[in-house]
């Protein structure tokens, strides 16, 4: 008896993990999940059913399935017999969804197995995803938005993410992920055109969970926050993104992101005639630690450096620029977590070892830049030695070493533009 004759609908999901849900209506929200890839079946069972459903092939030969499922290290003595037994187990697994359905869904013909697409009311998320996107390309703007948002809603996670190590899954996974991001960017552009900023914000937040470094979506999110008079939230988002770019990728924000940051900075200030109120707004909060050096993001550090360079030229006083790098000790294996802990400790130790007038920033994921003012080379050496000693005391078995270099930036060199590392 086919699925349709049972008055039931099957919903097969691949995004976010494999599952099969059953409903007595066409509303997926009413469906009850009967099978997921978290259940304890062998990986071969999941490979078989997922490949038959999602490979895009009408039928898969026994030879291809054997080659796919059994590696060279685990050749079966009788491959065809082993495959028939695996199919039997997979059909039995499907019978837990609806009794007797296994033999209806997995068919054998001409020495090849196939997923029965004519079994009845079976909805597969990848097919629905493709259909919605294709229909969106033919629709007018408003209908296109509706279809694109529906497609994006289907993508609740990476394709077969619990079995993503298989090459064929990785290839399809990259395809669907790229298509999802393209759908989101297209929907965002259309929503922006209609001024639907709240929907842009919601869509970008969802997409950035799955692709945290999608710059166009970050920019769209911040623009929509600005358009809804949430400049403070836009600035907070920029700072979070900037820190994550540095900690995870070791890079600074791009020119496009910095441009948004500058725009937010200019737009945050309304007309204010009370100079005392402006002074109060610029004072550091009581919650901030006023001891030690001031930490700022790299783009701000560059601006302060340029200001101090001008001051240095005018007064004749020298500046010192120091670069501190945390590198793994020779022969030591370090984890990402230990690296992050060490760099965070380095930041804290460096701040406390410096004076209030000094500033520092993260130059890369494992480097700090320091600007020392009104100090000669020897005293600068002493300050940097103190930082090195403090790090040895606080993290004696970290597996990292510090490499420290510093340079005196004399007014004559600053005027010739030969000293700057800040490009």
> CATH number for the domain including 53?
1.10.10.10
Tell me, yes or no, whether 139 lies in a domain.
yes
> Are residue 334 and residue 221 in the same domain, yes or no?
no
- Tokens standing for 131? 């259909």
- Tokens standing for 212? 């945290």
What is the rounded average pLDDT for all residues in the chain? 85
- Tokens standing for 221? 């999110």
> Are residue 256 and residue 365 in the same domain, yes or no?
no
Lowest mean pLDDT among 137-146, 161-170, 313-322: 313-322
Residue 419 has pLDDT above 50, yes or no: no
- Tell me which residue has tokens 């400790």: 345
Could you tell me the CATH number of the domain that includes residue 191? Answer: 1.25.40.10
DSSP 165-187: TSHHHHHHHHHHHHHHHHHHHHH
Q: What are the residues facing 95 on neighbouring strands?
A: none
Share of the chain above pLDDT 90, in %: 41
Q: What is the pTM of this model?
A: 0.72
> Are residue 60 and residue 26 in the same domain, yes or no?
yes
> Are residue 340 and residue 330 in the same domain, yes or no?
yes
In angstroms, the Cα distances linking 210 to 17, 161, 170, 247 are 14, 12, 16, 18
Residue 421's pLDDT band, with cuts at 50, 70 and 90, is very low
Give pLDDT, residue 420: 47
Cα–Cα nearest to 91, from 115, 111, 67: 115
**Hey, which of 88-92, 293-297, 371-375, 411-415 has the most confident mean pLDDT?**
88-92
The last residue of one of the domains, among 249, 267, 285, is: 267
> Are residue 188 and residue 317 in the same domain, yes or no?
no
Contacts of 146 (CB under 8 A, 6+ apart): 139
Spatial distance between the Cα atoms of 270 and 135, rounded to a whole number of angstroms:
45
Tell me, yes or no, whether 84 lies in a domain.
yes
- Tell me which residue has tokens 């497609």: 151
Spatial distance between the Cα atoms of 140 and 327, rounded to a whole number of angstroms:
56
The last residue of one of the domains, among 78, 98, 124, is: 124
- Tokens standing for 179? 């298509």
> Are residue 114 and residue 129 in the same domain, yes or no?
no
Spatial distance between the Cα atoms of 34 and 16, rounded to a whole number of angstroms:
16
410: left (phi over 0), alpha (psi -120 to 50) or beta: beta
Spatial distance between the Cα atoms of 177 and 194, rounded to a whole number of angstroms:
26
> Are residue 79 and residue 129 in the same domain, yes or no?
no
pLDDT digits (tens, 9 = 90+) for 51-69: 999 998 999 999 999 999 8
Containing structural domain, residue 57: 4-124
> Are residue 202 and residue 298 in the same domain, yes or no?
no
Tell me, yes or no, whether 310 lies in a domain.
yes
Give pLDDT, residue 334: 74
How many residues would you count in the chain? Answer: 423
Q: Most distant CA pair in the chain: distance in Å?
A: 92
Q: For the residues 11-33, what does the mean pLDDT come to?
A: 88
Tell me, yes or no, whether 422 lies in a domain.
no
Helix, strand or coil for residue 128?
Answer: helix
> Are residue 129 and residue 256 in the same domain, yes or no?
yes
Burial (Cβ within 10 Å: 0-12, 13-18, ≥19) of residue 374: middle
Give pLDDT, residue 29: 79
> Are residue 93 and residue 169 in the same domain, yes or no?
no
Angle at 24 between CA 19 and CA 30, to 5 degrees: 60
Tell me, yes or no, whether 284 lies in a domain.
no
> Are residue 311 and residue 411 in the same domain, yes or no?
yes
Cα–Cα nearest to 46, from 169, 173, 172: 169
The last residue of one of the domains, among 124, 140, 175, is: 124
pLDDT digits (tens, 9 = 90+) for 240-266: 998 888 878 878 889 899 899 888 887
Residue 376's pLDDT band, with cuts at 50, 70 and 90, is confident
Domains in the chain: how many in total? 3
């Amino acid at each position: 008896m086919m699925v349709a004759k049972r008055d039931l609908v099957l919903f097969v999901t691949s995004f976010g993990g494999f599952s099969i849900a059953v409903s007595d209506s066409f509303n997926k929200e009413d469906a009850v999940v009967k099978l997921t890839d978290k259940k304890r079946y062998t990986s071969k069972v999941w490979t078989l059913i997922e490949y038959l459903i999602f490979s895009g092939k009408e039928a898969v030969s026994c030879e291809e399935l054997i080659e796919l499922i059994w590696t060279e290290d685990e050749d079966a003595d009788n491959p065809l017999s082993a495959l028939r037994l695996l199919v039997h187990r997979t059909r039995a697994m499907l019978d837990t969804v609806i009794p007797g359905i296994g033999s209806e869904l997995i068919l054998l013909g001409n020495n090849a197995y196939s997923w029965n697409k004519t079994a009845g009311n079976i909805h597969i998320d990848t097919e629905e995803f493709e259909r919605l996107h294709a229909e969106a390309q033919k629709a007018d703007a408003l209908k296109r938005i509706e279809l694109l948002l529906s497609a994006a809603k289907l993508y609740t996670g990476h394709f077969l993410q619990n079995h993503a190590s298989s090459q064929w899954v990785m290839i399809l996974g990259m395809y669907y992920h790229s298509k999802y991001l393209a759908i989101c960017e297209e929907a965002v552009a259309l929503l922006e055109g209609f001024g639907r900023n709240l929907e842009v914000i919601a869509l970008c937040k969802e997409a950035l969970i799955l692709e945290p470094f999608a710059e166009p979506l970050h920019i769209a999110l911040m623009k929509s926050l600005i358009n809804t008079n949430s400049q403070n939230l836009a600035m907070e988002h920029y700072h979070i993104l900037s820190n994550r770019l540095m900690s995870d990728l070791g890079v600074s924000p791009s020119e496009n992101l910095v441009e948004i940051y500058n725009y937010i900075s200019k737009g945050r200030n309304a007309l204010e005639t009370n100079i005392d109120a402006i002074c109060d707004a610029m004072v550091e909060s009581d919650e901030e630690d006023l001891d030690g050096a001031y930490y700022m993001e790299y783009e701000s550090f560059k601006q302060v450096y340029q200001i101090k360079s001008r001051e240095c030229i005018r007064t004749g006083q020298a500046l010192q620029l120091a670069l501190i790098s945390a590198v793994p000790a020779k022969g030591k294996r370090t984890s990402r977590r230990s690296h992050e802990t060490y760099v965070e400790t380095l930041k804290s130790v460096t701040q406390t070892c410096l004076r209030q007038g000094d500033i520092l920033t993260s130059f890369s994921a494992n480097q700090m830049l320091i600007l020392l003012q009104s100090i000669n080379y020897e005293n600068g050496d002493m300050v940097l030695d103190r930082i090195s000693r403090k790090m040895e005391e606080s993290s004696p078995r970290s597996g990292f070493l510090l490499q420290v270099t510093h340079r005196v930036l004399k007014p004559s060199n600053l005027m010739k533009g030969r000293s700057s590392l800040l490009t």
